Structure 1
Amino acid sequence: MSLDQSRAPIYEALEEFKKMRVVPFDVPGHKRGRGNPELAALLGEKCVNMDVNSMKPLDNLCHPVSVIREAECLAAEAFGAAHAFLMVGGTTSAVQSMILSVAKRGEKIILPRNVHRSVMGAMILCGAVPVYVNPDCDHRLGIPLGMSVSAVKKAIQQHPDAKAILVNNPTYYGICSDLRSIVKLAHEHNMLCLVDEAHGTHFYFGEDMPVSAMAAGADMAAVSMHKSGGSLTQSSLLLAGPAMQEGHVRQIINLTQTTSGSYLLLSSLDISRRNLALRGKESFGKVMELADYARSEINHIGGYYAYSKELINGDSIFDFDRTKLSIHTLDIGLAGIEVYDLLRDEYDIQIEFGDLGNILAYLSIGDRKQDIERLVSALAEVRRRYQKDKTNLMTQEYIEPQVVVSPQEAFYAQTEHLPLLETSGRVCSEFVMCYPPGIPILTPGERITDEILDYIVYAKQKGCSMTGPEDADIEFLNVLKEG
């Protein structure tokens, strides 16, 4: 029986709750903003009135039986999933729950190395062992590509006991793997297929889009509704196919997700799902038009390369997400992070991220043509004012990791604190990454090489925001004790 996608059960319950004039002798302690007038002034009376605790009329996120349950059923139908779970710990929480649902200590998961740190965080939590499929790299653009089907086949042959294959689809840059073929391979070898679909919410609603995880037959997918779907930051969905036991997945989620789910986040998921179900096709059609217009204008400036479907090679670039406005900058003699900084500091334009050779301007349902024109104009001016010789610029080449021990073993091992440049040859016990995008350069258990150290030093010099280590300045790294 089809559900009514014009419904928003959590939002409707909150509207009814407001009429009840309930006297609060529960948490949160600000008591509808009365105890914190400055917060109420900042957020508004309506917002603080909706910041309430779980109670019978509003259901409970840990064990939903009424309005949250209805909202999850509507989300499952809208996304073509067997089950959907509302997540208030961001897609990080969804990714971790996905991995914890399928693997235990010592069990293997096949995955690309260019995954988000949340994937490796889950490996530390459950003790699973990564089997890396090294992605191809576009040497001109300096970006890692998708998982080639042949590389996945090889990993399966070498590790037939792996429990699952995890695919990052699409990548931050918009690159998509051959998801249907990878799902088929996984299932033929009694493995599950998990998809980090943080940047692919729109695949479920747009036309002429790459295939979504659920449509491709994947077993689980983590979807960032707050990225392209319009919900509040930190709200996300975990989708599951029919092979997954709903009760087991809920138990895993409840290991790490808060027992005090924010109704601001929950209602934003509910309202955003309704919006996408009713208007998503039209909305994302406009986003693609904007992105195509922006690419055309930027490529006319000269020096920049805003890439799209022309990159498709049928394998490691099986498809491309046209909503992603990814732009190569090295031909104007500037690293992506330098263009990122100039746009923010000189032109008051905040883009998503810059790496060593590219920038990403994230387009979604809230963007307007005049905003695109301002970005294009600023990029033209950056080229005119700051262009220089591109000699000696490093591209962001993929560095194949040397895994020595499992992430969990390395993270909890006895360590010592060494100056960065004295760590070559040692095994790292912490993360090092540029954020965004949050893809680790080093993860716990990997050997530190001269090539990696050169990359870290160069990225710091260019102004990349480096995160992960205990030492915030990344002058020191924690490594495993020897002997």
Structure 2
Amino acid sequence: MSENRTRFRLDQRRAPIYEALEQFRQMRVVPFDVPGHKRGRGNPELTAFLGQQCVGVDVNSMKPLDNLCHPVSVIREAEELAADAFGAAHAFLMVGGTTSSVQSMVLTACKRGDEIILPRNVHRSVLNALVLCGAVPVYVNPEVDKRLGISLGMKREQVAKAIKEHPNAVAVLVNNPTYYGICSDLRAIVKMAHEAGMLCLADEAHGTHFYFGNGLPVSAMAAGADMASVSMHKSGGSLTQSSLLLIGPNVHQGYVRQIINLTQTTSGSYLLMSSLDISRRNLALRGRQVFHQVADMAEYAREEINAVGGYYAFGKELCNGNSVFDFDTTKLSVHTLDIGLAGIEVYDILRDEYDIQIEFGDIGNILAYLSIGDRPQEIERLVSALAEIKRRYHTDGTGLLSQEYIDPVVAASPQEAFYAPKKSLPLRETEGMVCSEFVMCYPPGIPILAPGERITKEILNYIEYAKAKGCSMTGPEDPDILHLNVLA
């Protein structure tokens, strides 16, 4: 613990929101406020399901517990501790997931008509933010690894070219890392953005552990980025839907708070906030040791899975110094096509026949998400199941698609297309039309189509193939995706 504590200015053993809730629990306050379940008494079934410990602290904002919209006491202290732990100038506790964090980040940087440079393989939350604010995307289309069918990071020269061709752009957004663990040269991109007078934003939904890991890729704050959205609930161990928004010293804290308050709830969940507080404390005190163990488990799993044959659990060998500048070794991504199965098929077999739930399966790959709660015995169970699946289901993979990413043809801004007059057409009749809604496999939530993009035969083939293989398709108004909304 002493090694970790030397990194921090503040006492990271503190958890002020948790401490205030514990004190509140002992006060036996009579509740004539919301929520209406009144510490669980009004909803015994919910209390039996979640437990008295949980519903007893599902409370509303009050003076002793501070207010998320305008924190002045315990929430403010928790944010200061989070900023200290993550090396940020300020941290905001977010209770709308990293979607809310990403949207607040983009809305802070961009106004209507502003250009923002970003890779097309961003999460839908980024493009949702462009629909809301009216900013215009300048896409840096990532390279694709032909064997794996996955999109890579942004090349330095691609970013430099985009900055040169769009000097009035206000920001550059970077995935750090991608869902598959691929990292761009973040330090170089930050430097290029700042030299051009632009902000650098990082979507770190899958990079919480970068702040507490030896030998892992650089974190956004360490690289000098201006803002970063961090999914504490993914690798950080907090409750689902809890997140952090980090900012650097050159971003106005008060303005960011105003942007957050445009869309974030005024009834912040103390369950989510306390989970952020406790999880931050856990990572600050034990994160380096824990994530070292996670990386070791993932490396062991890669070796064992590759020894099975047929699968390819990829890792740092993909690094090329540019489009794959670094790789997150905690990510256990496995290519499955060589055993004749799409990733989503392996995903379904693991869940249905082996009671193993992995993060996602797509056309060519699966991702097993390893973090602070995993143990070696679960790794052994996963490896054994994959070996047995290969033995039972191995087949000829001829005819399987591999491409996960298709370069878009942008015909209108996301906001223009989303709010424009539209009509619904059968899927195959939309070829050549401009889409006005999102289509994606979830997870990972990276759009195959976004509002304003032209629909091509290749995209339609991909949608039908992904549906046939069992991918969970989301986004369109038609839940069966037999029709798409297009510009009228």
TM value normalised by structure 2: 0.98
Residue 26 of structure 1 is aligned with which of 11, 21, 33?
33
The answer for the alignment partner of 2:11 in structure 1 is 4
The answer for the alignment partner of 1:375 in structure 2 is 382
Residue 468 of structure 1 is aligned with which of 441, 466, 475?
475
Supply the AA of the counterpart residue of 2:188.
S
Residue 63 of structure 1 is aligned with which of 54, 57, 70?
70
**Equivalent-residue separation in structure 2 for 1:377 and 1:315 (angstroms):** 35
**Equivalent-residue separation in structure 2 for 1:4 and 1:59 (angstroms):** 20
1:398 to partner: Cα distance: 2.4
**Equivalent-residue separation in structure 1 for 2:454 and 2:418 (angstroms):** 13
**Equivalent-residue separation in structure 2 for 1:21 and 1:180 (angstroms):** 52
Contact 2:200 2:226 in 1 (8 A): yes
**Equivalent-residue separation in structure 1 for 2:68 and 2:149 (angstroms):** 42
The answer for the alignment partner of 1:325 in structure 2 is 332
Residue 137 of structure 2 is aligned with which of 118, 130, 133?
130
- Per-residue Cα deviation, 1:383-429 (whole angstroms, up to 9, x for no partner): 00011001000012421111111100110010001000000000000
Contact 1:139 1:397 in 2 (8 A): no
What is the SS of the residue equivalent to 1:50?
coil
What is the SS of the residue equivalent to 2:138?
strand
Counterparts of residues 160-309 of structure 1 (less than 5 Å): 160-309=167-316
Counterparts of residues 99-114 of structure 1 (less than 5 Å): 99-114=106-121
**Equivalent-residue separation in structure 2 for 1:181 and 1:102 (angstroms):** 20
Counterparts of residues 353-392 of structure 1 (less than 5 Å): 353-392=360-399
- Per-residue Cα deviation, 1:208-249 (whole angstroms, up to 9, x for no partner): 110000000000000000000000000000000001000000
**How many equivalent residue pairs?**
481
The alignment status of 1:458 with 2:465, answered yes or no, reads yes
**Identity, % of aligned positions:** 78
**Equivalent-residue separation in structure 2 for 1:45 and 1:75 (angstroms):** 28
Residue 45 of structure 2 is aligned with which of 38, 43, 50?
38
Supply the AA of the counterpart residue of 1:3.
L
Contact 1:430 1:469 in 2 (8 A): yes
TM value normalised by structure 1: 0.99
The answer for the alignment partner of 2:347 in structure 1 is 340
The answer for the alignment partner of 1:84 in structure 2 is 91
Counterparts of residues 440-459 of structure 1 (less than 5 Å): 440-459=447-466
- What is the root-mean-square deviation of aligned Cα atoms in Å? 0.6
**Equivalent-residue separation in structure 2 for 1:431 and 1:161 (angstroms):** 27
**Equivalent-residue separation in structure 1 for 2:420 and 2:17 (angstroms):** 45
**Equivalent-residue separation in structure 2 for 1:23 and 1:124 (angstroms):** 44
Contact 2:16 2:78 in 1 (8 A): yes
Residue 145 of structure 1 is aligned with which of 140, 146, 152?
152
What is the SS of the residue equivalent to 2:222?
coil
Contact 2:175 2:203 in 1 (8 A): yes
Contact 2:405 2:448 in 1 (8 A): no
The alignment status of 1:93 with 2:100, answered yes or no, reads yes
Contact 1:336 1:359 in 2 (8 A): yes
Contact 1:355 1:396 in 2 (8 A): no
Supply the AA of the counterpart residue of 1:156.
I
Residue 435 of structure 2 is aligned with which of 417, 424, 428?
428
Residue 73 of structure 1 is aligned with which of 70, 80, 95?
80
Supply the AA of the counterpart residue of 1:469.
P
The answer for the alignment partner of 2:415 in structure 1 is 408
**Equivalent-residue separation in structure 2 for 1:384 and 1:244 (angstroms):** 55
- Per-residue Cα deviation, 1:184-231 (whole angstroms, up to 9, x for no partner): 000000000000000000000010110000000000000000000000
Structure 1 ranges of 4+ moved more than 3 A: none
- Per-residue Cα deviation, 1:157-198 (whole angstroms, up to 9, x for no partner): 110100000001100000000000000000000000000000
What is the SS of the residue equivalent to 2:240?
coil
Contact 1:5 1:278 in 2 (8 A): yes
What is the SS of the residue equivalent to 2:162?
helix
- Per-residue Cα deviation, 1:125-151 (whole angstroms, up to 9, x for no partner): 000000000001100000000000000
